[in-house]
Structure 1
Amino acid sequence: MYTAVDHCLASPCKNGATCTRLLDTYVCKCLPGFHGQHCDRARRTSHGCHYKNGECEHFCRHLPDRSHVCFCAPGYRLHQDAISCMAEGEAACGRTVTRFTPRVINGKICPKGQCPWQALLTEHNVFSCGAIVLSDRWVLTAAHCVWRKPATVFNVTVGEHDLNEDERTEQKRRVVKVLIHHDYNKSSSDSDLAMLKLHRPVKLGLYVVPICLPARNSSFGRALSSVRHSTVSGWGRLSRFGPAAGILQRLMLPRVPLQECRLHTKLNITTNMLCAGLKAGGQDACEGDSGGPLVTRYKKTWFLTGVVSWGKGCANKNLYGVYVRVSNFLSWIENIMSNF
């Protein structure tokens, strides 16, 4: 005669959970605040996502029972530890593939492969602006770079590093669609964003990697803003009347509160903008960098926080650089990428 073992007699369920006996096994029904097979893992409910981003490597979302879960950017899967994000393929967004030991970067060359989301926008084959790789078919730039011009005059180059050398990593594509944000205001520079669709996909890899976008409807904005410094890159002019840099530059800058930015620039800074730079001047994105990325590293992954919009002159004292605040435009960006 067969007798089923009652596993519940051994009290396998912890933290006040209820044990339900099944044929040859059991399930634990956890009390709120606990999870895991034996309800032995506490959900970090006390502060949820607001404390250390819920310890999540990427994004954190609150659940109705006041607990929270971690989730990852597209192209990553959540590790069994329920916190870490594992890249699923080559060229997962926001991760540089080339091995490089970072040094302090103040207006120095961006080593090849370390700014792989940087793209170059040319108009009639002349360098006009920076742009940002979002996928193999879409790049983002500033609206004023493409305002009232047909798509046919533009090309985008990715995998570019030294403008004066053919490095055999460059991929050039025609632009077939220009979508300027519907609220773009030329005089105030508000909502200064445009999406560009390429005529055929670029090949992602060592030197071409999309940047990650922050998640909508998560507390990740708060986590990103806790990282004080962001990095801007581009081939813009190195000084006010100087030549454009031949080699891609990058620069680490502290972000500046809007009130302080308004105070020191005496300019109309809207909530769709963010400021970065040093009050003493001397280091900032310069002309020709419009449309380029301002990126922020959270743990091991880089996320897009701003798009270079404008600044009064190059690195003038008390004049911060102004960027489009990308977090306000995530729905618009994602809608275009999925529907056009």
Structure 2
Amino acid sequence: MKLSFSRTLLTAALVIPMLLIGCGKTTEDSSAKIVGGSIATQDIYQSYFKSVVSIQLNGGHFCGGTLIGKNEVLTAAHCFASYSADTLKNKVEIVIGTPIMVTRSGAEVFKVSKYRIHPKYKSGQNQYDIAILTLNGNSKVTPTPFNTKSDFPAIGATTYVVGWGYTKEGGFTSASLKYAPLKIVSNRDCSNAYGSQIYDGNICAYAEATDACQSDSGGPLFSYDGKKMTLVGVVSYGYGCARRGVPGVYTRVSKFASGDAW
């Protein structure tokens, strides 16, 4: 069995990254030769990724999340399993509205007023890795809708992972928000890659030399239909980062959208 680990602590770039503007078109990008995905320019950030939040402790980013309501953030349970309620409510901050981590200029900063970790989640296991944070105020940013269809996205569909995580395995976090396209992989193929079961509450995605990594945990896996983004997954765990033939594993949002055991 291959060792897997959570991604608390972006992704390798495509040679010609697929930009979201002009669905289906590709554009040469100045970051294409840099391992770590494509930097979300201000235009791309404002148009598609403003709902992506940075979850910080003592001013340092450690996990991502997605604004799904005016005061609700969907993220990964493992990001908070080791923290006390006091730390979560008094020391953790949710930063919304900036793609650059070196400044909070123009950003909204919230505290956590309450939180819900899935009751079936157990630390060290790879199931039910999902949590909802309730903020102590309402954001002005438009939330991203989350997927409720069990058969969406289809195997082979293009999705986008987004975050400030490590730009390579064993590397460092990114100061700028990054994104990368990935293809959905069947749970059977994903299980074969890991040598262990991938549960129906998970969804897997892969592209050559492209992956989420440490500190991307809790962040989004988006689907784009040419008009809007939909949240389909939450970064959960993986075997290393961008290792050949090994997909990343995400919590399947639709599995929990109906209030399953919440």
Q: How many residues align?
A: 226
Structure 2 partner of 1:198: 135
Once the two structures are TM-superposed, the CA of residue 137 in structure 1 deviates from its matched residue by 0.5
Structure 1 residue 213 corresponds to structure 2 residue 142? no
What do residues 118-171 of structure 1 show as CA deviations (whole Å, max 9, x unaligned)? 1000123321100110111000110000114222231101112011234x3311
Structure 1 partner of 2:74: 140
What do residues 213-250 of structure 1 show as CA deviations (whole Å, max 9, x unaligned)? 234xxxx4435327711001000000112221110000
**Contact 1:214/1:327 (CA < 8 Å) preserved in 2?**
yes
Aligned match for 1:325, one of 224, 232, 252:
252
Counterpart of 2:101, as a letter, is L
Greater relative contact order structure (CA < 8 Å, 6+ sep): 2
Once the two structures are TM-superposed, the CA of residue 180 in structure 1 deviates from its matched residue by 0.2
Structure 2 partner of 1:306: 233
Counterpart of 1:290, as a letter, is S
In the aligned structure 1, how far is the partner of 2:22 from the partner of 2:61? 30
Structure 2 partner of 1:120: 54
Structure 1 partner of 2:9: none
Task: Trace 1:173-184 onto structure 2 (pairs within 5 A).
Answer: 173-184=110-121
Aligned match for 2:221, one of 294, 302, 317:
294
Decide whether aligned partners of structure 1 residues 227 and 170 sit closer, same or farther in structure 2, where only a CA change above 3 A counts: farther
Task: Trace 1:1-340 onto structure 2 (pairs within 5 A).
Answer: 103=26, 107-112=37-42, 113=46, 114-149=48-83, 150=85, 151-152=88-89, 153-166=91-104, 168-204=105-141, 209-215=142-148, 220-222=149-151, 224-225=153-154, 228-278=157-207, 281-332=208-259
**Sequence identity, in percent?**
27
Counterpart of 2:119, as a letter, is H
**Contact 1:227/1:296 (CA < 8 Å) preserved in 2?**
no
In the aligned structure 1, how far is the partner of 2:185 from the partner of 2:233? 13
Provide the alpha-carbon RMSD of the alignment. 2.2
> Which sections of structure 2, spanning at least 5 residues, go unmatched?
1-19
Decide whether aligned partners of structure 1 residues 314 and 325 sit closer, same or farther in structure 2, where only a CA change above 3 A counts: same
Higher-Rg structure is 1
Counterpart of 2:50, as a letter, is P
In the aligned structure 2, how far is the partner of 1:229 from the partner of 1:119? 22
What do residues 278-332 of structure 1 show as CA deviations (whole Å, max 9, x unaligned)? 3xx4110111100000011124121111000011111011221000011100022
Once the two structures are TM-superposed, the CA of residue 266 in structure 1 deviates from its matched residue by 1.4
**Contact 1:265/1:318 (CA < 8 Å) preserved in 2?**
no
TM-score (norm: length of structure 1): 0.62
**Contact 1:120/1:131 (CA < 8 Å) preserved in 2?**
yes
TM-score (norm: length of structure 2): 0.79
